[in-house]
Amino acid sequence: MSYTANEQRYDEMIYRACGKSGLKLPRLSLGLWHNFGTNDDYQNMKNMCFAAFDRGVTHFDLANNYGPLPGSAETNFGKILREEFAAYRDQMIISTKAGYTMWPGPYGDWGSRKYLLASLDQSLKRMGLPYVDIFYHHRMDKNTPLEESMMALDTAVKSGRALYAGLSNYDSATARKAAAILKELRCPFVLNQVRYSIFDRHIEANALDRAADDAGFGIICFSPLAQGLLTDRYLDGIPADSRIGKGGPFLKREQLTEEKLGQIRALNEIARSRNQSLSQLALSWVLRMPQVTSVLIGASSPEQIVQNLGIVKAPALTQEELQSIDRITGVNP
């Protein structure tokens, strides 16, 4: 039996414009960086997509190398699109990226025109789509002229293979220069996707909020839960099935120091005082910033998605709570 979307899916979600563009994204978007790869459970992938879309999450974010194996997240999501979401394609924002290593040799990495456009064509084939809504350059490339990479994004848009251009992991100065080039090309540039969390003040450290205001683009944040540190997973130790317990590549055991654990527990007390989970507090904190259009959540189960979506209409953090968070994490705002 094929999927039928919840008719009330738009009733609770809040949508915000990407900078000065007309494109709106849900406050929470679903990232497919983890748990959509070759060895992951396909039914669970579908159930997570259903749980998200049924609650107004219209944006699904991918990249060419998401898996593992690289490309498998796009392949799996493309299968879900064909089998379950075909009737809802025009109600969805689907994005992908190119910039990290995807295939051997000099043309499968970084930011050349050759790589970006070839990768986009491969991504479209894997997902079975004629276009994506947003195509990102995934990282800066000091060895390729910025104009070349931006002209490749412009070609992607003007050829109909993407509707909007995006950047990812761009610092403030380079994002400003890229935005100026894309503006001159009359290419709609809508988002810079960056890492950001209570433990990683990447936006303030790089003045990305000011760049977004000046150049008119939005910000979408990834790793808002600091790869799981800002959840209840580690409050009482390291579970064997956690990212640290499994010895994964992105979160190491040495990162969970006694000082860090103390901070996590103190933040959890603030969350409890707000009747939130720690992950909900962390998401509310990221979304407090007006330049942040949306925040990307990853998940391993539909239940995690449903819980995190509880923050959409949560009360704003008070000034006292924000100051307490800064004091706990040793940040001087």
- Both structure tokens of 146: 């910025």
- Both structure tokens of 82: 């064909």
CB-based contacts of 129, cutoff 8 Å, min separation 6? 78, 81, 94
Mean of pLDDT over the chain: 94
Spatial separation of the C-alpha atoms in residues 151 and 169, rounded to whole Å:
18
What's the confidence (pLDDT) of residue 234?
A: 72
Region 22-51: mean pLDDT is 97
Report the topology of domain 15-235+283-318: TIM Barrel (3.20.20)
Residue 156 clears pLDDT 80, i.e. is over it = yes
Residue 66 clears pLDDT 80, i.e. is over it = yes
Region 100-104: mean pLDDT is 97
**pLDDT tens for each residue of 186-218:** 999 999 999 999 999 999 999 999 999 999 999
Q: How does residue 85 score in pLDDT terms, banded at 50, 70 and 90?
A: very high
More confident residue, 275 or 249: 275
Residue 91 clears pLDDT 60, i.e. is over it = yes
Q: Which of 255, 205, 203, 185 is nearest to 227 (CA)?
A: 255
Following DSSP, what letter does each residue of 138-197 receive, concatenated?
Answer: -S--TTS-HHHHHHHHHHHHHTTSEEEEEEES--HHHHHHHHHHHHHTT--EEEEEEE-B
At which residue do the structure tokens 């051997």 appear?
104
**pLDDT tens for each residue of 136-149:** 999 999 999 999 99
% of the chain with per-residue pLDDT over 90: 87
Spatial separation of the C-alpha atoms in residues 92 and 75, rounded to whole Å:
17
Residue 244 clears pLDDT 90, i.e. is over it = no
The sign of the dihedral angle between the CA atoms of 208, 315, 326, 308 is: negative
Q: Buried b vs exposed e over 196-208: b needs ≥16 C-beta within 10 Å?
A: bbbbbeebeebeb
**DSSP-derived 3-state class of residue 132:** strand
Residue 246 clears pLDDT 60, i.e. is over it = no
Of the listed ranges 187-191, 256-260, 285-289, 309-313, the one predicted with least confidence:
256-260
Q: Is 96 exposed, middle or buried (0-12, 13-18, 19+ CB in 10 A)?
A: buried
Following DSSP, what letter does each residue of 208-247 receive, concatenated?
Answer: HHHHHHHHT-EEEEE-TTGGGTTSGGGTTS--TTSHHHHT
